[in-house]
């Protein structure tokens, strides 16, 4: 792949760049731990919390971040092809615990059908 991928870690309090790197790797999945460690060292922190997009979702990287004392908030990537087919996905339905119901995307309560275990 010909191209460049720029990684930047920004301090949320000061909005200053704490670390940056340019690579020719086509995806971000394996780059987060290295960037988070560089930012952690630059900011002289013992522990750190990072907020990243789902391009960084990798089980091995999440485990390595936890071992390095880096807590990460990351959305789970959408792996279903249903949205491309025009079908609703599980995340489109909202559960209301107090009423024990799910709401459809249009707002109506989803009728109870059956329970499986």
Residue 98 has a pLDDT of 93
Tokens representing 110?
């989803």
Which range marks the domain in which residue 102 is found? 79-111
What pTM did the predictor assign?
Answer: 0.61
Tokens representing 49?
């919390």
Residues 12 and 53 both lie in one domain: yes
Domains: count for the chain: 2
Pairing of strands 48-51, 70-73: parallel
Residues 91 and 45 both lie in one domain: no
Residues 50 and 101 both lie in one domain: no
Q: Is 100 exposed, middle or buried (0-12, 13-18, 19+ CB in 10 A)?
A: exposed
117: in domain: no
Q: If you average pLDDT over every residue of the chain, what do you get?
A: 87
Q: Where are the beta strands (DSSP E) in 45-93?
A: 48-51, 70-73
Residues 12 and 68 both lie in one domain: yes
> In whole angstroms, what is the distance from residue 17 CA to residue 77 CA?
26
Mean pLDDT of 56-72: 87
Whether pLDDT at 3 is above 80 = no
> In whole angstroms, what is the distance from residue 27 CA to residue 3 CA?
11
Residues 30 and 86 both lie in one domain: no
20: in domain: yes
Residues 65 and 91 both lie in one domain: no
42: in domain: yes
């Amino acid at each position: 792949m010909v191209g460049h991928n720029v990684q930047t870690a920004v301090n949320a309090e000061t909005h200053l760049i704490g670390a940056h790197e340019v690579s020719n790797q086509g995806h971000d999945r394996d780059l987060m731990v290295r960037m988070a460690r560089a930012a952690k060292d630059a900011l002289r922190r013992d522990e750190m919390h990072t907020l990243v997009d789902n391009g960084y979702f990798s089980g091995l990287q999440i485990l390595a971040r936890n071992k390095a004392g880096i807590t990460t908030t990351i959305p789970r990537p959408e792996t279903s092809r249903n949205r491309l087919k025009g079908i609703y996905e599980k995340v489109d339905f909202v559960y209301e615990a107090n009423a024990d119901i799910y709401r459809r995307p249009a707002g109506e309560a989803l009728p109870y059908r059956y329970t499986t275990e």
